[in-house]
Amino acid sequence: MISLGGTIGTGLFLGSGPAIHTAGPGGALFAYAVIGIMVYFIMTGLGELATFMPVSGAFSTYATRFIDPALGFALGWNYWFTWAMTLAAELSASTMVMKFWFPDSSSYLWSSLFLVLIFLLNFVSVKGYAEGEYWFSLIKVATIVIFIIVGVLMIFGIMNGEPIGFKNFTIGDAPFAGGFMATLGIFIAVGFSFQGTEVVGVAAGESEDPAKNVPRAIRSIFWRIFLFYFLAILVIGLIIPYTNSSLQGHTVMVSPFTMVFEKMGLAIAAAVMNAVILTAVLSAGNSSLYATSRMLYAMANDGMAPRFFAKVNKRGVPVWALIVTSLVGMLAFFASIFGDGIVYTWLMNSVGVTGFIFWLGIAASHYRFRKAYLAQGYSLDDLPYRSKWFPFGPVFAFVLCLIVLLAQNYQAFLGDQIDWGSVIAAYLGIPLFLVMWLGYKFMKKTKVVPLEKCQIDFKEHKNA
């Protein structure tokens, strides 16, 4: 259930509208399809790594062993930053959600209340995180399934009178409004919608029988992407004209999901979707705190973070890692100073870029692992799970991540004056990553690990 619902969040419920409005229904479908294929290859590669070597907070460890310790250091801290910012972004989003019901309430109140709730879920034990995520995911999955069924019935006129058909794919410049460049421009927002798929790999080290259960979760990735993203975007694009200005918004009142339910005649559509979006926000925050604490724990064990982050309580929870990340999550409290929607947009932009960086790292780690595995004379038949389409899969994912990272905010350079504020928000994650990578490499004098010397430990795998 964590693998099913872990990716569904505000990126889909709130971010899909602006994507369709910007690139048209066809452009949005194309962007979700391409990013979906990329995520599929990243996840199958991660599945191969996580089943062979299940480690709690795995990404930095894989890059350290199979590429370069400096890259592992940079990816680990990048991943921590990504999810710490996601926690702040989701807490900021929670204030927007609650102000639907309580418009005059304080942002401090809701941000602090939900931060305490998420912290306690993770502090109790890993079962607290898992149990909370299970129920959050169940609500989100049920909502998407109902939404798609209702949408299809409306499109064919079985529900709510006259068939809608495909007319909204032919209005104006549809289906590809703004052409290829507009479609390229939404890739980063679409990528934000998919972030969270990799938490299955982070959780592998604490899951029961990872060699059996992680492949089961990974094998469902294609159908998850197709059902929950592709079909949802198709339904929205068919029912709501992309020219509808309400799609530009980032609030529950103009969530495309709310708009479809209202067209069906559900009077309380906004209230229902608001409750669902709140569960999505809490789910993303819950995953954020779990993923960041485990990454700090793994890096502390590898000597790449202060040792006290490796300390766990009697229930096996890295408490200090939880506390430090929660303090970063308090950035959301700035929402009441600058405006709730503004803070959410800032944080979402910063997270979108760093997300592609760690996906790029996963693709590279998988490629090097397979090469090292074969170079050291091991048989592919001994892998508990083997990803398909190697080497095309990791190479495709790596190249696409690189293209999106470099071209994701090209619009800022096209005007008479460069929008430096937009450029900094979009690209800040790249120089920070490079400084951490090259700085660690210079200080520790690390080198790329030769394929023949990469640490592939079958004993560790069998004992995991």
Predicted confidence at residue 464, as pLDDT, reads 43
Instruction: Answer yes or no: is pLDDT of 250 > 50.
Output: yes
Q: What angle do CA 298, 299, 304 make, to 5 degrees?
A: 160
Greater pLDDT, 345 or 403: 403
Please give the full DSSP string across 117-132, using - where no structure is assigned.
Answer: HHHHHHHH-HHHHHHH
Predicted confidence at residue 435, as pLDDT, reads 92
Q: In the predicted model, what is the mean pLDDT of residues 15-42?
A: 88
Mean pLDDT of the chain: 81
Task: Go through the chain and tell me how many residues it has.
Answer: 464
Greater pLDDT, 281 or 349: 281
Q: In the predicted model, what is the mean pLDDT of residues 233-256?
A: 78
Task: Return the percentage of the chain with pLDDT > 90, whole number.
Answer: 12
Q: In the predicted model, what is the mean pLDDT of residues 258-264?
A: 81
Which pLDDT band holds residue 93 (cuts at 50, 70, 90)?
confident
Predicted confidence at residue 369, as pLDDT, reads 94
Instruction: Answer yes or no: is pLDDT of 417 > 90.
Output: no
Q: Is 416 helix (H, G, I), strand (E, B) or coil?
A: coil
Instruction: Answer yes or no: is pLDDT of 114 > 80.
Output: yes
Q: Cα-flanking dihedrals φ and ψ of residue 438, to 5°?
A: -70, -35
pLDDT tens figures, 196-217: 777 776 666 666 777 777 777 7
Longest dimension (CA), the chain: 69
Which pLDDT band holds residue 462 (cuts at 50, 70, 90)?
very low
Whole-angstrom distance, CA of residue 95 vs CA of residue 102: 10
Q: What is the enclosing helix (H) or strand (E) of 186?
A: none
Q: Where do the domains of the chain lie?
A: 2-463
Q: What is the enclosing helix (H) or strand (E) of 415?
A: none
User: CATH for 2-463?
Assistant: 1.20.1740.10
DSSP state of 159: S
Please classify residue 158 by burial: count the beta carbons closer than 10 Å to its beta carbon, then call 0-12 exposed, 13-18 middle and 19+ buried: exposed
Q: Cis (ω within 30 of 0) for the bond into 256?
A: no
Nearest residue to 6 via CA among 273, 285, 316: 285
pLDDT tens figures, 419-429: 666 677 667 77
Q: What angle do CA 403, 343, 356 make, to 5 degrees?
A: 20
Predicted confidence at residue 440, as pLDDT, reads 92
Instruction: Answer yes or no: is pLDDT of 463 > 50.
Output: no
Task: Return the percentage of the chain with pLDDT > 70, whole number.
Answer: 84
Full-model pTM = 0.83
